[in-house]
Chain A
Amino acid sequence: MLMEVKSQIKATHLSIKYALQRELLNKFTFISNILFMIINNGCFIVQWIVLYSLKQNIGGYSFRQILLLWGLAAMTYGISRFFFKEAFNLSDIINSGKLDNYLIQPKNVLISCITSSVEISALGDILYGLIMLILYGLSVKNVILFLTCGILGSIVLTSISIIFSSLSFWFGRTEMVANTVDSLMTNFATYPEGIFKGIIKIMFYTCLPLGITTYIPVKLISNFSLPDLIFIIFGTFIFTSLAFIIFYFGLKRYSSTNLMNARI
Chain B
Amino acid sequence: MKKYLYIFKSELMSNLQYIFDISIGFISYCILIYIFLNLWQYVYSDPSEIINGYTMKQMIWYVIITEILWMSLSGRKYNRKICNDVKTGNIAYNIIKPYNYVEYSLFSHLGITTLRFILVTILGIVLGFIFLGSFPELTVLSIIGVLISCVLATIINTLIITSLGLISFYIEDTSPIYWVYSKLILVLGTIFPIEYFPKIIQPIIKYSPIYAVSSAPAKLFVDFSLITFIETIIIQIVYFLACLGITHFIYKKGVKKLNVNGG
Contacts and interface: CB of A to CB of B under 8 A. Distances in A.
Interface string B177-208: 10110011011100110001100000000000
Contacts of A194: 42
A183 B180 contact: no
B43 A54 contact: yes
A35 B173 CA distance: 13
Given A59-B42, A188-B35, A43 B187 contact: yes
A8 to B, nearest CB: 33
Interface in A23-75: 26, 28-29, 32-33, 35-37, 39-40, 43-44, 46-47, 50-51, 54-55, 58-59
A210 B37 CA distance: 19
A36 B184 contact: no
A56 to B, nearest CB: 12
Most B-side CB within 10 Å, residue of A26, A37, A46: A46
B179 A37 contact: yes
B176 A37 contact: yes
Given A40-B183, A58-B42, A191-B35, A50 B192 contact: yes
Given A187-B31, A195-B38, A43 B197 contact: no
B138 interface: no
Contacts of B197: 50
Given A43-B187, A54-B51, A183-B27, A32 B35 contact: no
Contact of A35 (B31, B38, B176, B184): B176
Contact of A32 (B28, B41, B171, B187): B171
Nearest to A197: B38
A29 B175 CA distance: 10
B24 interface: yes
A76 to B, nearest CB: 18
B183 A51 contact: no
Q: Place the interface of chain B in its size category.
A: 20 to 34
A102 to B, nearest CB: 27
Contact of A183 (B31, B176, B186, B191): B31
A43 B186 contact: yes
Given A39-B180, A187-B28, A28 B51 contact: no
Contacts of A40: 176, 179-180, 183
Given A29-B173, A43-B187, A195-B42, A184 B31 contact: yes
A14 to B, nearest CB: 26
A191 to B, nearest CB: 6
A188 to B, nearest CB: 7
Nearest to B190: A47
A248 interface: no
B27 A180 contact: yes
Interface in A61-108: none
Contacts of B141: none
Nearest to B21: A176
Contacts of B42: 58-59, 194-195
A242 B186 CA distance: 36
Contacts of B31: 183-184, 187-188
B32 interface: yes
Contact of B180 (A43, A176, A184): A43
B25 to A, nearest CB: 9
Given A28-B171, A54-B43, A33 B176 contact: yes
B38 A32 contact: no
A195 B180 contact: no
Most B-side CB within 10 Å, residue of A28, A43, A44: A43
Given A37-B179, A50-B192, A195-B38, A44 B32 contact: no
A32 B175 CA distance: 10
7 contacts: A29-B172, A35-B176, A37-B179, A47-B187, A176-B24, A176-B27, A196-B38
Interface of B: 24, 27-28, 31-32, 35, 38-39, 41-43, 51, 171-173, 175-177, 179-180, 183-184, 186-188, 191-192, 196-197
